[in-house]
Amino acid sequence: MQFLWYFLVLVKPPKSSLKVIKEITIIPKPANAILNAGNFKITKNTVIFCNNNDLLPVAEYMVAKISGAMGFSLQIKEGTGKGINFKISDTADSTSGNESYKLQVTPKNIELTANKANGIFYGIQTLLQMLPPQIKSSSLQQNVEWKIPCVEIEDSPRFPWRGLMLDVSRHFFTKEEVKAYIDQLAEYKMNVFHWHLSDDQGWRIEIKSLPKLTEIGAWRAERVGDWWQREPRQENEPVTYGGFYTHEDIKEIVQYAKDRFVEIVPEIDVPGHSLAAIAAYPEISCTHSVKDINVGNKFYTVDENSLCPGKEITFEYLDKIFTEIAMLFPSEYIHVGGDECYKGFWSKCPDCQKRIQNEKLKDTYELQSYFIKRMEKMLEAKNKKLVGWDEILEGGLAPNATVMSWRGMENGIKAAKEGHQVIMTPTNHCYLDLYQGEPSVEPATYSICRLSDSYNFEPVPDEVDPNLILGGQGNLWSEAVPTFRHAEYMTWPRGWALAEVFWTSKENKNWENFVTRVEDHFVRADFGKINYARSMYNAIVTPFNDENGILKIKLDTEIKDLKIFFTFDNTNPDSYSPKYETPLFIPKNATRLRIITYKDEKPAGKMISLRIDELQKRVL
């Protein structure tokens, strides 16, 4: 921060042209930005100059991003000159890190300076977001002036770990979809893609030394319908749903991510959530009883999904798996899961009991801790660091483990107090699989995490050393996410909120200002054919019993400047219907409440229609 203030003092642009930034709508919000008068216009004659060969790939990235909409490609040249200049600073500023950048746009020149190509890449994202929204289109946009406003921006991230997680096990996403997800998160200056590659419903990565993991583990019976309510696979039913990534696919995706300064942290979830692996190789389980890959039917405690830590063969197979994982992924971290491990089969397994005795362990929690500690040694022998979900604290934390705190922040706090690194991903702020607004107008899922819940996330608790909080990430579990369009719907705009939480300083955040920028990014996403949720426009419906025990309905909105209209007469409400002012009494014999929000005299949210008896149930 000190560095940034220094810059502001140094620059002193002419007072007359100075304005507090309003018109530019960058997400995440830059640390310091000054908007000046005038624009830099990109034409087909504009040249991108790079003062260092390391910058040629990012210049090519920018050209690729803009040429579809502009209909021309910019020339890239080495050196400096009049036009767009990308510069590695010759006096590297040790206080600002690899990801910071300085951007100066004048009518004649663009100068983007950083210590490293990472910073230039983030400066490019800022430039792209300052171009008209049509730039997101991949097809030629006629009659658009490609102007970038004159600005002085000084920017750097708050946290080094700014991530999104995608679960490709419950539903499979193709190589191209995974790339698109990485591309989208990188555009918001996120730098970690946590790839949940295995679970009970599918094993998604080729392991050449254990081919049945994908021959058997990657395929299940095809189903639709609510998760956990589905009919189990029937006898002789074909297993047609699934897929996996080959080593060649993985290498391609890793390179694609690297080109966007995104580190892929692979997760192989063990010892729990391992039904797909067990179905492929029953010898690594306690009872050898599992046959079918789960389709989203209820199975916990009945079908075995935990590896047997009593058998040596389990660790031999894991060593084969993690040897290939370590070879394929350059990240220094490997995530081993560790969450929600059902231990019922361990209690009855002679091998597990023998292990408990021989290792002088107290119970199955210490057996899980024994397992994770062995995993840590296994990974360290491959020069990798272990990350695990916060259950890895149970029974004792492995010495060098990094903890991903998901069941609230408490376990993250505990781990940090023990001196461990922590990534904060508490469900109520970071779980992108949760409802993002009124459930009756959203696809079925559970609990709730509104856009404002994501935006108001503060990853650093008061009582811990902030240096141990690496950052955070949004997690998209895919039980109820069967398509990539829906993955986008669940991710954006909450992912934008989290991008700002992880990049922008606490002091620089502002919810109302963020919402105006989100609205601009909706337009950009439309041009980019990227799906997103408009749930922030839907009314918030809160039934309650008043002091006399009478049911009343409070209506509210997540964002300001919305008007709420309602009916009890079984007609669709519009702006001529009664306008909500104070909590509603329910008229005698009414059966339904219908609600709609308006913004600027136009319908904004979805129409919500709720039976009075459903509202009554919500109070209980």
Residues with catalytic roles: 199, 273, 340
Q: Which residues contact 513 (CB under 8 A, 6 or more apart)?
A: 29
Given Zn ion, ligand ACM, none, residue 389, with its beta carbon under 5 to 8 Å by kind, binds ligand ACM
* Alpha helices for 298-443 (secondary structure H): 312-328, 344-348, 350-358, 364-380, 410-417, 427-430
Query: What's 282's DSSP letter?
Result: G
- Under a CB-based contact definition with an 8 Å cutoff, are residues 306 and 343 in contact? yes
CB 397, min distance to ligand ACM, A: 16
Our finding on whether 308 is near Zn ion (CB under 5 A) is yes
Q: Of 147, 200, 421, 217, whose CA–CA distance to 306 is shortest?
A: 200
Bridge partners (DSSP) listed for residue 431: 475
Piece in contact with Zn ion (CB under 5 A), picked from 279-287, 329-337, 419-427, 544-552: 279-287
CB 276, min distance to ligand ACM, A: 16
Given Zn ion, ligand ACM, none, residue 123, with its beta carbon under 5 to 8 Å by kind, binds none
Q: Is 253 helix (H, G, I), strand (E, B) or coil?
A: helix
In the complex with Zn ion, which residue's Cβ is closer, 375 or 451?
375
Q: What is the rounded distance in angstroms from the CA atom of residue 265 to the CA atom of residue 524?
A: 29
Q: What is the rounded distance in angstroms from the CA atom of residue 51 to the CA atom of residue 470?
A: 32
Q: What is the rounded distance in angstroms from the CA atom of residue 25 to the CA atom of residue 148?
A: 12
Q: Map 506-563 to HEC letters.
A: HHHCCHHHHHHHHHHHHHHHHHCCCCCCCHHHCEEEEEEECCCCCEEEEEEECCCCCE
Given ligand ACM, Zn ion, none, residue 339, with its beta carbon under 5 to 8 Å by kind, binds ligand ACM
Piece in contact with Zn ion (CB under 5 A), picked from 102-110, 286-294, 459-467, 544-552: 286-294
Cis amide prior to 583 (ω within 30 degrees)? no
Bridge partners (DSSP) listed for residue 39: 149
In the complex with Zn ion, which residue's Cβ is closer, 76 or 352?
352
CB 341, min distance to Zn ion, A: 12
CB 477, min distance to ligand ACM, A: 6
Given ligand ACM, Zn ion, none, residue 349, with its beta carbon under 5 to 8 Å by kind, binds Zn ion
Per-residue binder mask for Zn ion (CB under 5 A), 532-571, x = binder: ----------------------------------------
Given ligand ACM, Zn ion, none, residue 351, with its beta carbon under 5 to 8 Å by kind, binds Zn ion
Given ligand ACM, Zn ion, none, residue 308, with its beta carbon under 5 to 8 Å by kind, binds Zn ion
CB 304, min distance to Zn ion, A: 9
Q: What is the rounded distance in angstroms from the CA atom of residue 79 to the CA atom of residue 48?
A: 9
Given Zn ion, ligand ACM, none, residue 266, with its beta carbon under 5 to 8 Å by kind, binds none
Piece in contact with Zn ion (CB under 5 A), picked from 117-125, 174-182, 245-253, 282-290: 282-290
Residue indicated by tokens 């009414």: 590
CB 349, min distance to Zn ion, A: 3
Our finding on whether 280 is near Zn ion (CB under 5 A) is no
In the complex with ligand ACM, which residue's Cβ is closer, 457 or 503?
457
CB 10, min distance to ligand ACM, A: 46
In the complex with Zn ion, which residue's Cβ is closer, 358 or 548?
358
Piece in contact with Zn ion (CB under 5 A), picked from 306-314, 504-512, 518-526, 606-614: 306-314
Q: What is the rounded distance in angstroms from the CA atom of residue 302 to the CA atom of residue 114?
A: 56
Q: What is the rounded distance in angstroms from the CA atom of residue 495 to the CA atom of residue 475?
A: 9
Q: Which residues contact 332 (CB under 8 A, 6 or more apart)?
A: 383, 384, 385
Q: Is 568 helix (H, G, I), strand (E, B) or coil?
A: coil
- Under a CB-based contact definition with an 8 Å cutoff, are residues 7 and 32 in contact? yes
CB 272, min distance to ligand ACM, A: 9
In the complex with ligand ACM, which residue's Cβ is closer, 123 or 412?
412
Given Zn ion, ligand ACM, none, residue 490, with its beta carbon under 5 to 8 Å by kind, binds none
CB 351, min distance to Zn ion, A: 5
Q: How many CB atoms lie within 10 A of CB 529?
A: 12
Radius of gyration of the chain (CA): 26
Given ligand ACM, Zn ion, none, residue 319, with its beta carbon under 5 to 8 Å by kind, binds none
In the complex with ligand ACM, which residue's Cβ is closer, 476 or 584?
476
In the complex with ligand ACM, which residue's Cβ is closer, 86 or 389?
389
Question: Interaction with Zn ion in 317-356: which residues (CB under 5 A)?
Answer: 349, 351-352
Piece in contact with Zn ion (CB under 5 A), picked from 39-47, 97-105, 278-286, 378-386: 278-286
Query: What's 390's DSSP letter?
Result: G
Residues at the interface with ligand ACM (CB under 6 A): 339-340, 389, 406
Our finding on whether 278 is near Zn ion (CB under 5 A) is no
Given Zn ion, ligand ACM, none, residue 596, with its beta carbon under 5 to 8 Å by kind, binds none
Q: Of 527, 521, 533, whose CA–CA distance to 476 is shortest?
A: 533
Q: Long-range CB contacts (< 8 A, 24+ apart) of 91-97?
A: 93/3, 95/2, 95/3, 96/3, 96/156, 97/156, 97/157
Chain centroid, CA 326 distance in Å:
23
In the complex with ligand ACM, which residue's Cβ is closer, 60 or 339?
339
Closest CB to ligand ACM: residue number: 339
Our finding on whether 60 is near Zn ion (CB under 5 A) is no
Given ligand ACM, Zn ion, none, residue 286, with its beta carbon under 5 to 8 Å by kind, binds Zn ion
Q: Which residues contact 549 (CB under 8 A, 6 or more apart)?
A: none
Our finding on whether 182 is near Zn ion (CB under 5 A) is no
Query: What's 245's DSSP letter?
Result: B
CB 319, min distance to ligand ACM, A: 24
CB 423, min distance to ligand ACM, A: 12
Q: How would you class 101 by CB atoms within 10 Å of its CB: exposed for 0-12, middle for 13-18, buried for 19 or more?
A: buried
Q: Is 207 helix (H, G, I), strand (E, B) or coil?
A: coil
In the complex with ligand ACM, which residue's Cβ is closer, 125 or 436?
436
Our finding on whether 271 is near Zn ion (CB under 5 A) is no
Q: What is the rounded distance in angstroms from the CA atom of residue 419 to the CA atom of residue 208?
A: 37
Q: What is the rounded distance in angstroms from the CA atom of residue 388 to the CA atom of residue 400?
A: 11
Per CB under 5 A, residues contacting Zn ion are 286, 308, 310, 349, 351-352
